[in-house]
Structures are given as structure tokens and as C-alpha cells.
Amino acid sequence: MSHDILLEIGTEEMPAKFMPAIVDGLKDLASSGLKENRIGYGSLSVYATPRRMALLVRQADDRQTDEQVKKRGPSVQAAFDSEGNPTKAAQGFARGQQVNPGSLKTEDGYVWAEKTVEGKQTKQVLPQLFQDLIQAMSFPKSMRWGTEETRFVRPIRWIVALCDKEVIPFRIAGVDSGCLSRGHRFLCPGEVRVPSAGEYLAVMDKAFVMADQNVRRETIRRGLVELADNIHGVVKHDAGLLEEITYLVEYPTPLCGHIDGHFLELPEPAVITPMKDHQRYYPVRDRNGQLMPLFLTVRNGGRQSLHTVQVGNERVLRARLDDAEFFFKEDRKKTLAQRRDDLKRINYQEGLGSLLDKANRLEALVEIIGEDWNFSEKEKENARRAAYLSKSDLATGMVTEFTELQGEMGKEYALLDGESPETAQAVFEQYMPRFAGDRLPEQPIGRALSIADKLDNIAATFSRGLVPTGSQDPFALRRQAIGIINMIDDGKIHWSLRKGLSAAIKLLHINTNESEQILSQADDFFRQRIKTILQDRKVPYDIIDAVTGEPVDDIEAVFLRADSMVGCHIHEEEGLRQMMTRLAHMAGNIPDHDVKETLFQTEEERELWKAYSAAAPDISKAYQLYQYEDALPALRSLTDPANHFLDGVMVMVENSDVRANRLALLHKILQLASPWGDFEKLS
């Protein structure tokens, strides 16, 4: 016999951005809770709307599975007397475990009680399980309300808890569980009875609530596409916006609104941002990709009075666009270059000057990067100009009002000022990537300015002692470091990260001791980010350790070294690894010295030097071409000569010159492998 189980938690409206994590969290908690309580089931689903989250378990077992319990008691010496009879200690232990003293077993010097604990009926377990689930849920922000001590994302207003048709009774946050839910706030106000757990979705449908977010999401997507098609337009799929709208409504109805045509004379970002980011509207384009004087949105309700809702949405958007138009006209009274003076009055960070100071630092940094990346004179000129103008849009009214337009309006204003398209695009690309999965800068000067901006942010913030710790990263420095790494890897750029960091730190005019400390902290910071990326790529941990043992300089080379180790199955080179480990134990920490053939005394020394001399050019060439796996045959050729040397030659002889020469020879062999990685760390 199986059961359907329902837990619905009704609340005041929850933030849409919290909901995906809430769904995943409740699903994980429920799955682990049922497993811990030994309750099997057929399927487990979590549904969520702005006002509710629901757990629906189908085909749950009638009872917990029986549990085999094994408890350790007193030692054997304490449990039995000299004649082997149970002592009072053994009898007391057996009584406490509800077993016969004669059934006690001995193992590892102790007595053990083994028994079968019969499982309870599922409905007997559910009250505590449901309370535990609710109390275990975590949220980005939670709250208390009234006189209740319970913390939750929003005040709990009702709870439905059913096992088939039977109410599972419990009380939490001042609310008793029952079978009464709520329908849509306006289309079906008041209480709605849920007769049984299995009927939950159908009951919600009749109450104008699409409880299943997947159905709701697809209904919205399909409705928007059909509505756009009816007006001969196109809406671009936006997964983030669709997800947010999905958790803003319980009963979605798409509608179309109009905007005054003259607003389309504004730069596109100034029109789209108020639509999408502020009002959650979809802009509509024609078949040629041009904006139409229309928008699509989704109402939380039916089609009643839809025109009134449309007019209200149009009025709200018109007010936003009026603001944008006003700021745009005011901003155009000065060019971006003329606004640089305004940056003096905007602080960058405490103790680190103004945004003008930052823009000046970016000019110097992109010049260094441009030299290192072999920019043409034209690219250098465009990069310098982009850095010169990089922060000017932060002094405009448009960006002050719509902060998410930083960079975007900088690009638009730069084009209107007559700047080159490359310069304008770089002003926009400096902030990329803005979030995980965002696209990267497309042009080299945009990539250079973006890296310069992020290096300056990291160096400046570290100089204030604000190094990210644990989950605390208020300046999003981890994201920026990962952005730098991804840009370098995407562009296949071999560049000295340490040189870039050192330059960024130097431009802050910090004393030498502090500069060295900041550089060391930044090295560790970037190395940890690289390790995380390699872990995400499923690179084995020992290979990650092997290629990130030293401060990271050439990021792209680190990735190539790791990929080559994986690609050539380096773990199968056991003989090479063992040989390198033996060398490292003996000569790993000595300084580099020239090897003198005149000091050789054995055939093993001469053979090893001969093998080294033959292998070194091939290995060096492979490294120069970043084709590390091509060095493997030459490295492998050193295994036998090195082992013969180690087995047959006494290294630590009394003659200091001979001893030093032999150590230098071993160190040379180690140096052939070290540019690829630390073979000693391979398992």
C-alpha cells in the first residue's frame, strides 16, 4: 500500500529572485529527510508560486523500513565474570537495549547488542518530518513576525499537510496544519479545500493557480511568442526575465502595450533597460531587428479588464521613459571627455582617490598591456582613448538614474561624440563579464581595458585589507578574477599576470613592503580561482596541485599544462613519476649550478649527462611551443639512466666538488620537468 503526501506552506509574497533556490533547497531537504527516515517513494516534486511552496510525494511507502541497530556496550572483561556469566553491567546494558543478555555478541573487545527496530507507519513520522523540513529551510534573507520566534522567508499564513485524505497534524509559527489552502488572491479569494494530496494540482487549477512552475513558465513563454507573432513582431528569449516573471505570477496572462514612437529616438539601452530591468516588460522587434513602439508583459490574472491593465502599464512605462529622455537631453550638453572633470567629485574607494584617479590608472595599465600584447599603433591609440573615457558616463544623469547602464551609455555617448567604434565598444566591454556565463569582450582592446579595470579593482581593494574571506566578497572580487582568467583563456593569451598585478599595485603608490604583501595575497587569490576552474573542468586534483604549485604567472600555460597531463595519461607514467620523486627528495632544494664533466668519476654520471644533453633540446622546444605532451618521450628517456645513477652512485661523497656536481646534475634533470609541473605531486 502506498500513499500520496502533500505539504503546502502558504506565505505572503516571496521575492521572485529567491524562488529557484527555495525550490531546489526544499527538494534536497525532503529527499534527504525521507531517506533518513527510511521512507521509500515513487516520485518527489516541489512546486512554487509567489505565495506558496508545495512538496508532493507520490507512492510513498506505508511504513518505514525496519532498521538493524548495533550498539556497543561494556568491555568483555566488564561484561562477563570468570565463569563466562553476564555481570550486572552486561545485564543492565541488555535491559537498556531491550535484548536478552544471552544474545549479546563480542567484537573488538566489547559486547554488542544487535536488534531489529520495527518501522513506524509513515503518517506517524510525517508531523516531525514536516516541522524539521520547515525549520531547516534557509534563505538569503529571513524574518520574524508578530510574537513568533520562527524565522522564515515571509510570514507563514497557512499550512496544508495531507497523507492521502488524512490531515497530518502539527503546529509551527503559530499556524496549525489542515486541508485548507488559498486560491488566487483576486480571482479566487478565500479558503480552498484540498480533499486529498493527489488532487492538489487539479484543485489549484480550479482556484486559478498554476502551481507547477514548469507549466507556468512554458505557458508564459508560449503566450509571449504567440502574442508577438500576432503583431508581426519578435521577442528575444531571455531566460532570466522569464524565470523572474514565472515567480511573480500565479495565473499568467500576456498582454501588449504601446509606447510613444518618439521614445525610439533614444539610444536602445535607454529604452530597453526601463522596460526589462525596472518594469519586467519584453521589448518587441520587427523582423529586421528594429525596436517597435510596443512591449509585452504578463498580468497576474485573467483577461477581465485587460485594457485597463494595459493602459496602467503604459502609463508607468511612459513616466520611466520621460525620465530617460530628460536625462539623455541633459547629458548631451557635454561630451564624455568634458565630463572627466566631474569625476574628481566622485570617490572611487576610501583612501584611493576619485574616479578620475582610477581612469588615469587605467590609461597607464592598458598602455602596459598593449605593449605586452603587441598592439598596433592604432590599437594602442584606441585603447588609451577608451581608458581615458572609461568612467565618464558615471557622471551622467542617465547612469546615475539607471546604474545598470554603466558602460552601455558610455558606448552610446562615445559614438555620438564621434569617437571611433573600437573605442566606444571598449568603453562598453570594460565591465564584461558582468556575471557568470556573461559573454566576454570581443575585441582585444576591450579585453585589455576589462582586465586593467579588474586588476585595478583587485589591487585597490586588497590594499585596503579587504581580501575576500569565506562567503564574504562584497566587491565581487572572485567574479572579477575569474573574469580575467576566462578572458585570457578564451583569447589564448600568454601574458605575465604578475607583471600586470605589479603594475596595478605600483600605480596605487604604496610602499614597497605593503606592495610585496599585496602581490603575494593576489598570487594566492588567483591561484585558488584557477584551481576552482580546473576542478570544474574535472581535472584530477593531483594534476591541479602539480601545475599550480608555484605563483601563477602565465595563466594560459597553466591550463595547457593541465590539459596535456590529462591528454597524455600522465598517471600511467609511474616509472617517470617515481624517478622524479627520488630526484626531488635528493636535489629538490639546492640552487642551480653548472655541471662540470671533468668531475665525473663513474660511467653512470656520463650516461646520465649524455641522456640529459640529448633530451634537453627536444624538451625545451616542446615547452616553447606550449606542446607539453611532446616533451614526454624525451623525459621518459631519462628514467633508466637516472635510476642507474641513483642505484649505483654515491651522491653524498666526502669530496665537496664531486658531491655538488652530482647534485647539480640531478637538479638539471628536475629542471627539465618543472616547467610542465611538479611530478612529485602526481599520485
**Sequential DSSP letters for 635-663:** HHTTHHHHHHHHHH--SS-S-HHHHHHHH
Give the H or E element holding residue 291. strand 291-300
- 69, β-bridge pairs: 115
Task: Give domain 568-681's CATH number out of 1.10.10, 2.40.30, 2.40.360, 1.10.730.
Answer: 1.10.730
Does domain 2-64+121-206 bear CATH number 3.30.70? yes
Q: Find where cell 504567440 sits.
A: 226
Q: What span, in angstroms and rounded, lies between the C-alpha atoms of 69 and 117?
A: 7
**Grid cell listed for 519:** 602581490
Q: What span, in angstroms and rounded, lies between the C-alpha atoms of 47 and 26?
A: 10
Give me the architecture of the 67-117 domain, per CATH: 2-Layer Sandwich (3.30)
The dihedral built from the CA positions of residue 274, 279, 280 and 282, taken in this order, carries a sign that is: negative
Read off the amino acid at residue 115.
Answer: K
Q: Which long-range contacts (CB under 8 A, 24 or more apart) does 561-566 make?
A: 561/628, 561/676, 561/677, 562/534, 564/627, 564/628, 564/629, 564/676, 565/628, 565/676, 565/677, 565/682, 566/539, 566/540
CB atoms < 10 A from the CB of 350, how many?
Answer: 8
Largest CA distance in the chain: 105
- 177, β-bridge pairs: 159
Q: What's phi and psi for 315, nearest 5 deg?
A: -65, -45
pLDDT value for 590: 82
Give the end-to-end CA distance of the chain in Å, rounded to a whole number: 51
State how far the alpha carbon of 119 is from the alpha carbons of 69, 166, 673, in Å: 12, 20, 60
Could you tell me if 468 and 417 are in contact, meaning their C-beta atoms sit under 8 angstroms apart? no
Q: What span, in angstroms and rounded, lies between the C-alpha atoms of 553 and 296?
A: 49
Average pLDDT score over the chain: 94
Q: What percent of the chain has pLDDT over 70?
A: 100
Could you tell me if 81 and 99 are in contact, meaning their C-beta atoms sit under 8 angstroms apart? no
Q: What span, in angstroms and rounded, lies between the C-alpha atoms of 563 and 628?
A: 9
Residue ranges for the chain with pLDDT beneath 50: none
Q: What span, in angstroms and rounded, lies between the C-alpha atoms of 85 and 107?
A: 17
175 contacts: CB under 8 Å, gap ≥ 6 = 156, 157, 158, 159
Q: What's phi and psi for 180, nearest 5 deg?
A: -105, 120
Return the half-sphere exposure (C-beta side, CA atoms, 13 A cut-off) of residue 68.
Answer: 2
pLDDT value for 69: 80
Q: What span, in angstroms and rounded, lies between the C-alpha atoms of 1 and 52?
A: 29
386 contacts: CB under 8 Å, gap ≥ 6 = 366, 422, 423, 424, 426, 427, 430, 445, 446, 449
pLDDT value for 78: 82
Counting DSSP H helices and E strands in the chain, the numbers are 27, 15
609-666 pLDDT per residue, tens = 999 999 999 999 999 999 999 999 999 999 999 999 999 989 899 898 999 999 999 9
